[in-house]
Amino acid sequence: MRRGITSWLKSWKKHDHVEVEGVPDDFAPEIPFFAVGDIHGCAGLLDAMLLQLEAAASGDETRVFLGDYIDRGSDSRGVLMRIWGLSQEHPDKVVCLMGNHERMMLDFIDDPAGTGAEWLRFGGVETLRSFGISTESRELDSAASIDLANALEAALPAGMQEWLRGLPLQWSSGNMHCVHAAMSPKRHAKSQREEALLWGHPKFFSEPREDGVFVVHGHTIVENAGISASRVSLDTGAYKTGLLTAARISASSCVMFQTESDSL
């Protein structure tokens, strides 16, 4: 059964988690899991969310982070340290997907005077500051960009860059496929192009899948997280709205969680 899901929104403000009504009957992960939307440097919201998920866990649910841990917000370093630590402590139960902002940061390290330079215009300056690297400009000459890239590499804790480079692009359980941005509706879930997974696809929101697959994703900010056609959308724009959203997904069930900042 697939029908519009709106009634749970009415009570959202009263609770930090809400059971979504009308979840499709063919919601069928093999195991229950938590999926966390884009964090973008909001370490306080992440800490609050981790406490919520720990309190709500009923067993050994896998935690899946959907990418875009850095940029925009003020504490990208804090976010990276937390989720990196979790992934090291619980490698079988914590999945950290790569987002396009992590990809841009790595591109900056690899080619700071070339294609990687655009990262500074998309939140890279805030990430550098969180690592104690100061720059007032988002437009730098080649020499200054190279200096910043060298400083960032030196500031990253040993092992973090290697971990970032190894982040997977998707994680699946049953017919639920977690990715950062999107999937092509016409391509098999396991045959997706990296560009779509990291940056989106022009038909992702206009064409539902016809193969029974659901895509759990972030990247595109939505006013209200929820289920629409074959998508579960969880990016509520934490860095600009002060709202971080996650979901617990199990067979025919979806519970939404949200943490809110008073500072925005």
CATH code for the domain of 44: 3.60.21.10
Q: Compute the mean pLDDT over every residue in the chain, rounded to the nearest whole number.
A: 91
- The residue type found at 93 is K
Is the pLDDT confidence value at 2 over 60?
no
Indicate the range of 15-19, 75-79, 229-233, 256-260 predicted with least confidence. 15-19
What is the pTM assigned to this prediction? 0.92
Q: Are 129 and 111 found together in one domain?
A: yes
Q: Are 35 and 140 found together in one domain?
A: no
Task: Tell me if 195 sits within 8 A of 45, measured CB to CB.
Answer: no
Q: Are 87 and 218 found together in one domain?
A: yes
Q: Are 41 and 120 found together in one domain?
A: no
In a domain, 2, yes or no: no
Helix axes 43-56, 76-89, angle to 10 degrees: 30
Which residue, 166, 200, 223, sits at the end of a domain? 166
Is the pLDDT confidence value at 125 over 80?
yes
Q: Are 74 and 145 found together in one domain?
A: no
In a domain, 218, yes or no: yes
In the structure, what pLDDT confidence band is assigned to residue 4 with cuts at 50, 70 and 90?
Answer: very low
Which residue, 134, 166, 198, sits at the end of a domain? 166
Over residues 64-71, the mean pLDDT reads 98
Q: Are 43 and 108 found together in one domain?
A: no
Task: Tell me if 102 sits within 8 A of 197, measured CB to CB.
Answer: no
Provide the number of structural domains found in the chain.
2
Please tell me the distance from the alpha carbon of residue 119 to that of residue 131, in angstroms, as a whole number.
15
Q: Are 86 and 181 found together in one domain?
A: yes
In a domain, 139, yes or no: yes
Q: Are 12 and 88 found together in one domain?
A: yes
Q: Are 64 and 74 found together in one domain?
A: yes
Q: Are 158 and 48 found together in one domain?
A: no
Task: Tell me if 157 sits within 8 A of 76, measured CB to CB.
Answer: no
Q: Kindly provide the b/e burial profile for residues 75-92, where b requires at least 16 CB atoms within 10 angstroms of the residue's own CB.
A: bbbbbbebbbebbeeeee
Task: Tell me if 107 sits within 8 A of 149, measured CB to CB.
Answer: no
Please tell me the distance from the alpha carbon of residue 235 to that of residue 258, in angstroms, as a whole number.
11
Q: Are 84 and 56 found together in one domain?
A: yes
**pLDDT for position 1:** 30
**pLDDT for position 46:** 98
Indicate the range of 1-15, 58-72, 74-88, 213-227 predicted with least confidence. 1-15
What domain range includes position 137? Answer: 101-166
Q: Which of 115, 149, 152, 120 minimizes the C-alpha distance to 137?
A: 120
Indicate the range of 11-25, 61-75, 119-133 predicted with least confidence. 11-25
Residues 6+ away with beta carbon under 8 Å from 54: none
Is the pLDDT confidence value at 13 over 50?
no
Which residue, 166, 186, 215, sits at the end of a domain? 166
**pLDDT for position 261:** 85
Is the pLDDT confidence value at 166 over 80?
yes
In a domain, 255, yes or no: yes
Q: Are 70 and 201 found together in one domain?
A: yes
